[in-house]
Structure 1
């Protein structure tokens, strides 16, 4: 079977780890582009020598309030993506060591990646409690997918 040009009969789970890395990085790239290209002439842009100062002084970019908030949300989504990356990578590694079925590995990897895409979009674009709740659900789906892989791996290796 193929999906988006990928043969899903093959184990694609290990490829999902660099894909998750990319999904963690994309919000930061968006944030850098936002503060670099949308700021008015003469305003401070992204501080490549000390990136943390850009967050602290985002008001100096003179972006609109909406864009400043979006910048901060994108950086927070980036942070969260990298916090969860190790957990996901370890879950995929454990599942491969346990030789879980390819279909299960691919489904779990796809669920995690889909949840991360949704999480990023909801974090960056969401500005109300409903979006925050939906973002939390997306985070839980991704995290519980990893927990499920660990539990299934433990059962199989026991």
Structure 2
């Protein structure tokens, strides 16, 4: 059996945790690039010694309202993804502990990662009620994936 070219008889699920971390922090690097490319001449540089201070600096940097919104939403997408990451990692570990099939583990991990990529993209570019609702749907898809692993692991163990 294969999914996106992967042999699902091999268990790749533990590799999904560092991939999910990379997906989680990607919006932050987008925010940094946006800040540095859009700031007005003479504005404060990105301050890596006090990263939270940069949120206050976006007004001084005279970013356009659209860029300010994207910057703030990118940082929020990163924060949300990092808050979800421990639950996903724990679910992957629970699924492996319960010896769920590699097919289930790999497919669930892939769906989670894809949902987080789509979630972050929609979050950063969101400007309408419809896209906000789609963002919520992708968020819930990601939650459903890791929750399903806990339930499947529980069912198999008890």
TM-score (norm 2): 0.95
Matched, 1:38 2:38: yes
Query: Which residue of 2 is the match for residue 99 of structure 1?
Result: 99
- 1:84-119: CA deviations, max 9, x gaps? 000000000000000001111111001100100110
Is the contact made by 2:58 and 2:68 (CA closer than 8 Å) also made in structure 1?
Answer: yes
Matched, 1:20 2:20: yes
Quote how far apart the aligned CAs of 1:4 are: 5.3
Q: Using the TM superposition, name which of 140-149 and 1-10 deviates more.
A: 1-10
- 1:102-151: CA deviations, max 9, x gaps? 11111100110010011000000111111111000000000011111001
For structure 2, list consecutive stretches of 5 or more residues without a partner in the other structure: none
Q: Using the TM superposition, name which of 118-127 and 57-66 deviates more.
A: 57-66
Query: Which residue of 1 is the match for residue 81 of structure 2?
Result: 81
Runs of 4+ in 1 over 4 A off after TM superposition: 1-5
Distance between the aligned counterparts of 2:4 and 2:46, measured in 1? Answer: 35
**1:23 aligns to what SS in structure 2?**
helix
**1:127 aligns to what SS in structure 2?**
coil
Query: Which residue of 2 is the match for residue 140 of structure 1?
Result: 140
Counting matched residue pairs gives 158
For structure 1, list consecutive stretches of 5 or more residues without a partner in the other structure: none
Query: Which residue of 2 is the match for residue 29 of structure 1?
Result: 29
Q: CA RMSD of the aligned region, Å?
A: 1.3
**1:51 aligns to what SS in structure 2?**
coil
Distance between the aligned counterparts of 1:102 and 1:114, measured in 2? Answer: 18
Query: Which residue of 2 is the match for residue 70 of structure 1?
Result: 70
Tell me: CA distance 1:30–1:4, structure 2 relative to 1, closer, same or farther (3 Å).
Answer: same
TM-score (norm 1): 0.95
Is the contact made by 2:3 and 2:107 (CA closer than 8 Å) also made in structure 1?
Answer: no
